[in-house]
Amino acid sequence: MIRSMTGFGRAEAINDRQRITAEIRSVNHRYLDLSIKLPRRLSFLEGQIRGLLKEYIQRGKVDLFLTYDDYSLGSNSVSYHGEVAARYLEGLRAMSADLGLKDDITCSVMARLPEVFTMDEKSIDEEMLWHHIEPVIKEACEAFTQSREREGANLYQDLRGKLSLLEEKVRAVQERSPQVVDQYREKLESKVKEILADTSVEESRIAAEVIIFADKICNDEETVRLHSHITGMERLLDDSDGIGRKLDFIAQEMNREANTILSKSGDLEISNLAIDIKTEIEKIREQVQNIE
């Protein structure tokens, strides 16, 4: 099943000790571009998270937002450093005596001085933390993948319809081309007779001119290749995921064939059909840009 490159997934796990939330969003991108936004204290997990995301995603600009709240008691501790406070107090009193300043030292003043109190974070059990976070990210990835597959199903139906219409346009060019040659032959015969004022014209000369003209405007190779590209694209759409780049390449090749048909055309109807073909190919290519 094909997948869109746009998607969203969210998962959350809450218990009496912690709350973990993971959100994944993505938009179109030529390659895989991962942006992982974590709390600073969890930055050591970035490599593991990046590897996990690559198991689910092949292309797109992807943003992962992970939040982690620890409710457990004693996760942080405050330490009081009495020796540091005593040295501060001694220095402040000496300064008061030396400079004749009012001694207004209070506990709140002392508490604001550097290193009197320090906040010590509890050491993190990295393995245990990953054990809790990994399932949440996996759940978000599953929801994200399902979102992409739903959008991919819509893209599939739209592209199949566009390919069917493109097939009709190419078939119309094939049907029109012999008529153009026949009309050219009739015009050529009429013109020669008019100029020579003679009803007997060498058939071989007319045939030779018609052959040259038919060869000049012949688009058999282009239409055959277009049919082949359409069939190939339809086959890919029924293939596995990760086909966006292949489809984009085929669309480029289809556009080249349409340009050649247009450049060869000396017939207004075929020119209009070639323009319609180019328009449909461009629509297809725009949709292909959304496929992973």
- As a residue count, the chain comes to 292
CA dist 140 and 156 (Å) reads 24
Position 30 scores a pLDDT of: 87
Taking 90 as the threshold, does the pLDDT of residue 184 lie above it?
A: no
- The residue that leads in pLDDT, 217 or 51, is 51
Residue 101 in contact with residue 95, Cβ under 8 Å? yes
pLDDT digit string (tens) for 23-75? 999 999 989 999 999 998 899 999 999 999 999 999 999 999 999 988 764 55
Task: Find, among 30, 15, 109, the residue nearest to 68 by Cα.
Answer: 15
| Of 16 and 287, the one with more pLDDT | 287
CA distances from 236 to 52, 69, 81, 173 (A): 27, 45, 69, 25
